[in-house]
Amino acid sequence: MKGDVNLGRIVKNLGLYLILILLVVTLVNTFLTPEETPVQQQYDEIAYSEFLSELDAGHVAILQIRNNTQSSESSSALLQGELQSGRRFLTYGINAAEIAERAAQKGVTVTVEAPQKTSWTSLLTSLIPTLLLIGVWIYFMYTMQGGGRGVMSFAKSNAKLFLDNRPKVTFNDVAGCEESKEELQEVIEFLKEPEKFTKLGAKVPRGVLLLGPPGTGKTLLARAAAGEADVPFFCASGSDFVEMFVGVGAARVRDLFDQAKKYQPCLIFVDEIDAVGRHRGAGLGGGHDEREQTLNQLLVELDGFDDTSSTILIAATNRPDILDPALLRPGRFDRHITVDRPDVKGREEILKVHMRGKEFDNDVNTNILARRTPGLVGADLENLINEAALLTARHNKDKIGMAELEEGIERVMAGPERKSRLINDKEKKIIAYHEIGHAMVARVLPDSDPVHKISIIPRGHAALGYTLQVPEEDRFLMSRSDLLNRITILLSGRTAEELVFGDVTSGAANDLERATRIARQMVTELGMSDKLGLVKLGNKREEIFLGRDISEDRNYSEEVASEIDKEVKAIIDKCYFNAREILSERRTLMDKIVKILLEREVLDGDEFAKLMDGDSDSKPEEPAKVNSAGAESAEPEELKELKDNLPDLPDVRIDKLPDDKFMA
């Protein structure tokens, strides 16, 4: 039956192609038939009998025989020439050889053109432009539709069907998201044993939406679900539905679900569904009609399942905030599964999964690696293991060691080392004081993350040096004092430069940006200002088709805006003076550690801690301000007055964790 349908389609397409070719040939012959040349238009056409009379009378002066052929002596030929009176003529005659002989006997100057090509060659030559145009058109249509699916299959879905070749990934290959696996396990059990649920009156989930940051394993979870369920699996991307032709996206959605109904029970996975599921009517000038038609068809298909249907749609996105509300309601995507960043235990399990099949030294400790990689997702951890394996091969080792894994962490988080970048001694010294300033303040402040490594070797595309702080445990809340400590550590690099050299550089630009952002969040978003109170100031407005944070809706007056600026500056100033005081009291120790750092270029956390603790018994030094010339200078009076007027900042817990790991 299926073969008869395919044969019918082939015959139908061939008939369409033949009609199209005949139409094109007709148009070409109509519009490309050569007209008379200007030379021919200068001749008077006469009858063949009149030409013979003029020839016999000896009135023909010149005769030219054209369009002669080799096929037969009696074939017609174009005769044109000039009479003795000066009149030009043309006519058509037969037996060109006999005419030429008669004219020569009369003393006429006769010229004969070379015989033309055969009729088949001429016909082929005339058809070459037509065939070329048809070939270009077919190639264009074939390429535009992806190739291999037929020229006219515009509305066919691009989704790949996996039957016996379905993914072999199972939930054993997925780690760090146990809750997400449990949620998907229920969906798989429904596909395997629907009677277990239907006898209790439960309905199949229409759709499952996987939410989470990039790299957390949403696509891997969908593949694992297909492997566990052991049912037909359709895989597509959101961008596969939208093409240049209007209505194609909706037609492809219909075709996808029509195919799925033939293979029930089955799974459909659509990755990056935000490509077609964006909020309707958003953006400048309204929505995108083709995208909205596709979304409307998707909404109908999701809500149009009958109660006995066992087709489940799994979709993934990292932008749930821009999805249309109609897509998220129960009855369409009934279940929302959040695949978040893994915690310490999750990172350790993910590392063990990616370490399978590789040789490691006995000193490798996955727990230490997990604690040193806060905030990294599964894709980052996989890249970390791969970088360590590449470094091991580069060093001609047989097993991956802890040193390579540590380097892999730094390559993933900060980029590769750039030892080829030449930095003069003066700038290297400034960078060293900058990084030691970060590290010393981080060591002194209570409850701050411990310093893991200090380096003045450039990494990545921008970092000339960095101070790496690694938290001992995952944290999901930060107090006001924690945020103030974070700002103080960020400002301590610039403070160290100013304290030692009496001048500042552009190296602290990123530190100032991050410090200001945290301070403004404290005032406007987190209610951590005594003057402004517990209010949320300003509303972020994200235009879906124009990008994130393109504008901010100011719901406060100019007076409040001025107060916000004052509060932000007060927080920054207080943290700056705190950092200056800490570094001033430990100026001699800072010089000592900087000297060691300049010699080694890298200090690990344990070495730095010993250097700091070695001076713990001595009394803090008197604050000394030394400029670039080496002379001491007292703290300016205006700074003292500003310091005395700074507000007290009590301790408050918050639910937002700034994503800052490097103090470079």
Can you give the C-alpha Rg of the chain in angstroms?
41
Catalytic residue, chosen from 435, 497, 498, 567, is 435
What does the buried/exposed string (b/e) look like for 180-201 if buried means 16 or more CB atoms within 10 Å of the residue's CB? Answer: bbebbeebbebbeeeeeeeeee
Number of H helices, E strands in the chain: 21, 18
Residues paired with 154 in a beta bridge? none
What does the buried/exposed string (b/e) look like for 248-262 if buried means 16 or more CB atoms within 10 Å of the residue's CB? Answer: bbbbbbbbbbebbee
Amino acid identity at 294: T
CA–CA–CA angle 615, 595, 515 (5° rounding): 80
Under 8 Å between Cβ of 88 and 44:
yes
Q: 425-444 and 605-613 helices cross at what angle (nearest 10)?
A: 70
- DSSP 8-state assignment for residue 116: P
User: Which two tokens mark 261?
Assistant: 């109904």
Handedness of CA 394, 395, 398, 401 (dihedral sign): negative
Nearest to 623 by CA among 587, 664, 659: 587
For the residues of 622-659, what is the DSSP string, one character each? PP--B-TTS-B-PPPHHHHHHHHTPPP----EES----
CA–CA–CA angle 171, 175, 179 (5° rounding): 80
User: Which two tokens mark 304?
Assistant: 């149009």
497 is catalytic: no
Instruction: List helix spans (H) across 525-615.
Output: 558-585, 587-600, 605-613
Q: Which residues are catalytic?
A: 435
